[in-house]
Structure 1
Amino acid sequence: MRSPQEVLIRPVVSEKSMGLMEENKYTFYVDKDANKIEIKNAVEKLFKVSVLKVRTMTVRGKKKRQGRFEGKTPDRKKAIVTLKAGDKIELFEGL
């Protein structure tokens, strides 16, 4: 079994994710091979909170050009985690 630090890569800091925090939903970039059960266990273990629901999505990378060369940014996986009422993650509170 993987450690929680291997499953959760980093939190997503955007205007939309900050708005979801008011609904007790937190957004993270996660490992592409992680499933919902692993994500739930990682969040509960790292932040000592109760997770009610996990929604995941794969975000395709964008095409980028550098002169005549064309490339692509890597694909990523995002997870939106809904916490039990009253639970908070302090990592996001100062943002």
Structure 2
Amino acid sequence: MNQERIFKVLLGPHISEKATIVAEDAQQVVFRVAPDATKPEIKKAVEQLFEVKVASVRVLNSKGKTKRTAHGMGQRKSIRKAYVRLAEGHDIDFVGE
């Protein structure tokens, strides 16, 4: 995989209440990823960008909600999330304190 694709696979961390609980309990980190990203691409991108060892990757497609607006019905964007389980002893710190 070329360097340009690595930077396009991961769109950023997904911070939510559930993602925080999963990070504490199961040594997992949640990322928003490109809609066409595959599990091997996600694994390689995380390992190269954060210099950690990845044990497994699970992918979730979350469909955007339909919402009523002043101009009729609208829809939020659909997102693709990756739950990345890190190997024992590895950690990613986004806060950097």
Aligned to 2:11: 9
Question: In the TM superposition, what is the alpha-carbon distance from 1:68 to its structure 2 partner?
Answer: 4.3
Q: Which runs of 5+ in 1 are unaligned?
A: none
Question: In the TM superposition, what is the alpha-carbon distance from 1:54 to its structure 2 partner?
Answer: 0.2
Aligned to 1:49: 52
- Assess, with a 3 A threshold, how the Cα gap between structure 1 residues 93 and 84 changes in structure 2: closer, same or farther: farther
Question: In the TM superposition, what is the alpha-carbon distance from 1:71 to its structure 2 partner?
Answer: 1.1
Output the aligned Cα RMSD.
Answer: 1.5
Question: In the TM superposition, what is the alpha-carbon distance from 1:4 to its structure 2 partner?
Answer: 2.1
2:27 aligned to which of 14, 21, 24: 24
Normalised by the length of structure 2, the TM-score is 0.89
Q: Indicate yes or no: 2:76 matched with 1:73.
A: yes
Normalised by the length of structure 1, the TM-score is 0.90
Q: Which runs of 5+ in 2 are unaligned?
A: none
> Separation in 1 of the partners of 2:96 and 2:87?
16
User: After superposition, what is the alpha-carbon deviation per residue over 1:15-42, rounded to whole angstroms, capped at 9, x for unaligned?
Assistant: 1111111221000110000000000000
> Separation in 1 of the partners of 2:43 and 2:63?
23
Name the aligned partner's letter for residue 70 of structure 1: M
> Separation in 1 of the partners of 2:95 and 2:89?
15
2:39 aligned to which of 36, 41, 44: 36
User: Percent of pairs identical after alignment?
Assistant: 38
Q: How many residues align?
A: 94
